Chains A and B, each alone.
Chain A
Amino acid sequence: MKNRAITVSGTILLTIAVVALVGPWLSPHDYVSTDFDRVLLAPTIADAHLFGTDELGRDLFVRTMLGIRVTLLVALVASFVSLVIGVAYGAIAGFVGGRVDAVMMRFVDTLYALPFIFFVILLMVAFERNFLLIFVAIGAVNWLDMARIVRGQTLSLREREFVEAARLTGVRNRRIIFRHIAPNLIGIVVVYVTLTIPQAILVESFLSFLGLGIQEPQTSLGALVDAGVNLMEGASWALLFPAGLLALILMCFNFFGDGLRDFFDARQAN
């Protein structure tokens, strides 16, 4: 049952990613060319406007695929940033322990209570809207869960016999961390990265939806949904395709991550 959730959502995600990569290349249209004879065209196979066109006559299929690429790219990079910060922070807190750990975790608790998205927006206002900054800001927001989980895991690993044995035979701290503790963290870290990805996608598309994220003519799924909202009364396809795909991608990542977590939990219980 759980494995089915992983395979089905994984397959859907892979298909979407492949189509997003290959699709624009096969289409006769590109993402910037306007065509004022074909404005707000409903989806049709004849012209290869599979998702219709927008108010400038741009092909929405190619734009949506491009949006998916940007969304996935932002999500992957942001998750990587949060992975690095979260693992480093959590591992240090867990390994050092004691008072350092208490202070570090109290700080995480404090940050947990904050409406982080507002701080990201504040960053966007203070510094010019910079694409790189979106990655970093989103990553900087999403590391808290990772830090908590890694810290908990490190704390329990530190007390295990094989670490004790390594310590007794005179292995240095550095080596203990990299050779004995880090490899045991990989499973749980992988699971939580897959659960961080949908969160990163959510933040990016939220910012782009508000017009604070990616700028025209570049696009992302959030920006396309925003554009679709303005067109929906006459051209519902401009809203429904990007909105539907965004929802589908988010759901698949959530199911995938959940399935993976249950899979690892079951394995650990055995």
Chain B
Amino acid sequence: MLRYTLLRVLGAIPTLLLVIALAFLMVHAAPGGPFDDERVLPADVEANIAHAYHLDEPLPKQFVRYLSGLLQGDLGPSYRYRDYTVSELIGNSFPLSLQLGALAMALAVVVGVSAGTVAALRQDSYLDRLVMACSMTGISVPVFVFAPVLVLLFAVKLQWLPAGWSSASGGARLVLPVITLALPQVAYIARLTRASMIDVLGRDFIRTARAQGLGTLTVVRLHALKPAMLPVLSYMGPAVAAILTGSVVVEEIFGIPGLGQFFVRGALNRDYTLVLGIVVFYATLIVLLNLVVDILYGVIDPRVRYR
């Protein structure tokens, strides 16, 4: 187990480096610099600015500087929010996005697994067809279509829930954003669970458990759930990536001052360091989460350790 874990951790390092290098190169391959405005600056001023931000150094040296800064948690200064560093901006806005994403993920797993299990137990019934039809809809319809339609229905027409992000509305302001963020993942997890649950329920050890006279619920809870969860577990990495992507849209629509909103602002303002920093941050997060999932996989399913 220790060897397996170590191998996984070592495997993640080149991935991380590749990701950071890719993002860094993309930004620096761009024509023009971050300070190219309509206003033409005197040459020496321009040279001074370039020097202050180390833009006059050769690219490999800039990259090494960026990497060593990164190791110390320093992602450089923001080009547009002049008084903040990128790390400060991320540190201030990420907790909100994390809260949103974690709630959405929890909701997605609970609802998705339950719906998928029910559909698998009643395979080919009307209930099953209904769950699958809903799930296909959930997979097809993008978050930025769901979100405004839900706002229109529940906030504008019915006025049950707040549409925006004011502190006056308390916890209720979380309801719509979390639901919208979770919906596509609910749909996907339901499909995954149904397929793997049907597969597991057909195995011999389930028949044995049934033959012992155990009820359906007990069989599912004690015997079928764990093996059926493996595909769902390996979907967690992509799910986190999808929720991060979705949170960009959700934060934009509901006016939530999270990391996603900074990302879009940064992209629209061409704030190179901020966008680069957030991409590196997101990518690192995902690589690390995938690592955790890999290791968990080894814990739950011992077979993968000896491959």
Contacts and interface: CB of A to CB of B under 8 A. Distances in A.
B283 A115 contact: yes
Given A205-B144, A225-B148, A232-B148, A117 B245 contact: yes
Contact of B287 (A113, A122, A232, A254): A113
A228 interface: yes
B290 A113 contact: yes
Interface in A101-148: 110, 112-115, 117-119, 121-127
B153 to A, nearest CB: 10
B71 interface: no
Interface string B248-262: 110011000000000
Interface of B: 15, 18-19, 22-23, 26-27, 29-31, 136-137, 139-142, 144-145, 148-149, 151-152, 156, 237-238, 241, 244-245, 248-249, 252-253, 263-264, 266-268, 270, 272, 275-276, 278-279, 282-283, 286-287, 290
Interface stretch (A33-41, A74-82, A239-247, A260-268): A239-247
A125 B275 contact: yes
B44 to A, nearest CB: 27
A147 B179 CA distance: 34
A243 B290 contact: no
B26 A222 contact: no
A228 B253 CA distance: 12
A61 interface: no
A229 interface: yes
13 contacts: A110-B15, A113-B290, A117-B245, A118-B282, A121-B263, A122-B27, A125-B275, A126-B272, A127-B31, A206-B142, A247-B145, A254-B136, A254-B140
A127 B279 contact: no
Contact of A209 (B18, B22, B249, B279): B249
Interface string A225-237: 1101100110010
A209 B144 contact: yes
Given A211-B268, A247-B141, A232 B152 contact: yes
B19 A114 contact: yes
B276 A229 contact: no
Contacts of B245: 115, 117-118, 206
